[in-house]
Structure 1
Amino acid sequence: MKKIALIVGSSGIIGSNLAAELISSRWETYGLARNPNTENSDLKPIAADLLDLENLKLALKGVRPTHVYITTWMRNETEKENIRVNGLMVRNILDALSANGSVEHVALVTGLKHYLGPFEAYAKEGFLPETPLREEHPRLDLENFYYAQEDEVYAAAKRDGFTWSIHRPHTVIGKVVGNAMNMGTTLAVYASICKEQGRPFIWPGSAAQWNGLSDVTDARLLAQHLIWASTTDAARNEAFNVVNGDVFRWSRLWKRIADYFGVEAVGYGTHIEPLEREMANDAGTWHKIADKYKLKENQLSRVATAWHTDLDLGRPIEVMTNMSKSRKLGFLVYQDTEDTFYELFDFYNYRCKKIPAKQNRWMEVYSASTKDCINYARMVSSQRIQVRCSPYFR
């Protein structure tokens, strides 16, 4: 039977990487967003407002997905409003598709706020869970829009008979423009500003995060996990943590990132140095950098989200997750976290000109085609640049 995917939130960091993975696996793939990404010509874009049920029904007329991937959310002023808006978005998309009877599986992406609490009480004393985080950890006695989204999926599954999976990644690292949860890009932009101005690359987070163990989630690995869970019988009706599979300490990785950009790393001192404060006056600086190096995006707010990076790096406990549940059921994909960051930085340096390029003697080429790599190597040979292929789009 033909597999037809509908990605809700196809322009985001998760949705865009999922679209690339599905299309490479020959799925018929639709991407729904308020402003759909049209960079991937094989993705069938659908523009719609998730808060308008009638608009959704009209936009989805004739679309009969077998698999629905919900990868988006909307931040609001209060958690009460987060619950109302984000619960409604999930309810509307599933109600709009209900009459079709085509949906076999719904995958919902949430995250570690399931364990750590909502924005208003994020990682606060009295609600700190035991780590490594495990899927069986009970819900916190707090209002949380993740719980509301899950409950909408459970109710629709009971009504319509589809299976479901819940995916809880840690911080997602991957390529995308204008995403509100993109630590990788934020750190690259911050380091580029430090390099340009001769500033130190100052650790913005807590002592616990600096010294403790942590993990992250590569967006490409998350895409593979979403497809695996939605097509594996043993993974039906289950919730999963999703991370790279290794652990690291920021006390090491921060210095490695600094070395990549050629800046001086400064670790934790005596207190938190929020990145939002450190970058508060950098909008004009970034505009000048973008003009100087002919970068594609000169608006700092489009490429860096310091508030979210502060939220992650300022937590008072080490945060890492247990992935045994997925491993036992057969998902064995692994991704080295340092490579996750380096490959993302290389992509931004050389492929899409989002940050100033390094003067390296080798270059990453991200392509599924060996022929494309060879052709590109010939093109840059006069610059004495060696080419190394990397499977970013595979």
Structure 2
Amino acid sequence: MSKKNALVVGVTGISGSNVADHLLANGFTVFGLARRPPQDRKGVTPVAADLMDPASIAKAVAGLDISHVYFCTWARQDTEDENCRVNGAMLRNLLDAVTQTSKPDHVALVTGLKHYLGPFESYGKVKPDTPFREDQARLPYQNFYYVQEDILYEAAAQHGFAWSVHRPHTLIGWALGNAMNMGVTLAVYAAICKETGRKLLFPGTPQQHEAVTDVTDARILARQLVWASTTPSAFNQAFNIVNGDVFRWRRLWATIGAHLGVEVETYPGHPTPLEQQMAGMDATWDAIVTKYGLQSYKLSTLASWWHSDADLGRELETFTDMTKSREFGFLDLQVTERSFTDLFDRLRAEKIIPPASAG
């Protein structure tokens, strides 16, 4: 590997931000692409582009000699047909532009477990066997993950680069303003509960409360992405990526409550979605920010009630097999409790949520 010039697409998101950090720690030159990339991100050269505008991307990557691409973004649409059209075009436009000016060695694509569960509008209609394995057949529904994979395979064959596909479960880690970050959402939820005298009520289904499940720390995803893109024996493969342990929410919920200093409510045996519990809490959050001198983020920027409700509202068992990844040589393990507690500690240190002594 002669060059180590990485383009991280979606550098402001939870997966992109963490992979950028890991690439920098491993000696890469990192270019961070987003519509509005941060200008003050240490070590990351900002690249501004709209992935739906081919001319915008071509201008942005002109002159960059990119060896590794990490595609870590998506745009949610109202229907899966639109998801396929838009997210497929985003990846195709990016690859077309990069391969015009560079000869990348490797392109990594981040998707997720909807590969096995189906898109939101067909979610769980077919109940796949668990744990999910990479060799399971595609489901008989439209799915933008499948569209993106096929675009990746076609471009790799045409331009001669290696590829990898990474399928995380729910991502836990440091990122603000991300629509899919359950860890930050639960931390904000707990802060509101504590301040208003509520108990921490698990919002999901009995199946999620009781069943074995898993999650993906954004840091272990980043490590797998860089490993797969720099290990020739792992080229041209799809890999699941989760922490490597399993848990039940009924136990982890108590750990979360204890670490955030809020009493846990007895589970009532039915869902009580966060969107319902937290309706009308914007002014309450603003008051918490003022009271504790927190950074002035709006509630809607930090908390993604709908996404956490979707994850915790599943009515089917969901966990993932990591055997293939281990057989290929990726042996990392992340303890899930620490995924949450490390994040909560950083959120306190960065003044995103109140200090431990609050309340």
Question: TM tier, shorter chain?
Answer: over 0.9
Counterpart position of 2:325: 326
Deviation at 1:102, TM superposition (A): 1.7
Counterpart position of 1:51: 52
Deviation at 1:39, TM superposition (A): 4.2
Counterpart position of 2:301: 302
Contact 2:245 2:335 (C-alpha < 8 Å) held by counterparts: yes
For the pair 1:26 / 2:27, whether they are aligned, the reply is yes
1:90-112 C-alpha deviation (Å, 9 max, x unpaired): 00000001223421110000000
Q: Give identity over the alignment, percent.
A: 53
Contact 1:171 1:217 (C-alpha < 8 Å) held by counterparts: yes
Aligned residue for 2:254, secondary structure, equals helix
1:258-291 C-alpha deviation (Å, 9 max, x unpaired): 1112222124323211111111111111111011
1:111-190 matches, within 5 Å, as: 111-124=112-125, 127-190=126-189
Contact 2:67 2:102 (C-alpha < 8 Å) held by counterparts: no
Counterpart position of 2:105: 104
Counterpart position of 1:373: none
Contact 1:291 1:298 (C-alpha < 8 Å) held by counterparts: no
So what's the TM-score if we normalise by structure 2? 0.98
Aligned CA-pair RMSD: 1.1
Structure 1 CA distance for aligned equivalents of residues 20 and 100 of structure 2: 25
Counterpart position of 1:212: 211
> Which structure is richer in relative contact order (CA contacts within 8 A, separation 6 or more)?
2
Aligned residue for 1:239, secondary structure, equals strand
Aligned residue for 2:7, secondary structure, equals strand
Deviation at 1:359, TM superposition (A): 2.8
Structure 1 CA distance for aligned equivalents of residues 188 and 351 of structure 2: 12
Contact 1:83 1:148 (C-alpha < 8 Å) held by counterparts: yes
Counterpart position of 1:344: 343
Aligned residue for 1:315, secondary structure, equals coil
Contact 1:53 1:93 (C-alpha < 8 Å) held by counterparts: yes
Contact 1:86 1:145 (C-alpha < 8 Å) held by counterparts: yes
Deviation at 1:183, TM superposition (A): 0.1
Counterpart position of 1:78: 79
The residue type paired with residue 359 of structure 1 is S
Counterpart position of 1:290: 289
Matched residue pairs, number? Answer: 357
Cα 1:41/1:298, change in 2 over 3 Å: closer
Counterpart position of 1:359: 357
Deviation at 1:294, TM superposition (A): 1.3
The residue type paired with residue 70 of structure 1 is F
Structure 2 CA distance for aligned equivalents of residues 297 and 146 of structure 1: 35
- Greater shift, 30-39 or 251-260, is seen at 30-39
The residue type paired with residue 92 of structure 2 is R
Structure 2 CA distance for aligned equivalents of residues 46 and 322 of structure 1: 36
For the pair 1:265 / 2:264, whether they are aligned, the reply is yes
- Greater shift, 35-44 or 136-145, is seen at 35-44
Aligned residue for 2:101, secondary structure, equals coil
Unpaired segments ≥5 residues, structure 2: none
Counterpart position of 1:202: 201
- Moved beyond 4 Å, runs of 4+: none
For the pair 1:42 / 2:40, whether they are aligned, the reply is no
1:327-358 C-alpha deviation (Å, 9 max, x unpaired): 011111111000110000000001x1100011
Unpaired segments ≥5 residues, structure 1: 361-394
The residue type paired with residue 171 of structure 2 is V
Structure 1 CA distance for aligned equivalents of residues 274 and 122 of structure 2: 20
Counterpart position of 1:379: none
Structure 2 CA distance for aligned equivalents of residues 285 and 176 of structure 1: 22
Deviation at 1:295, TM superposition (A): 1.1
The residue type paired with residue 207 of structure 1 is P
Deviation at 1:209, TM superposition (A): 0.7
- Greater shift, 303-312 or 35-44, is seen at 35-44
Counterpart position of 1:374: none
Deviation at 1:233, TM superposition (A): 1.4
Deviation at 1:133, TM superposition (A): 0.6
Contact 1:210 1:250 (C-alpha < 8 Å) held by counterparts: yes
Structure 2 CA distance for aligned equivalents of residues 267 and 27 of structure 1: 48
Aligned residue for 2:240, secondary structure, equals strand
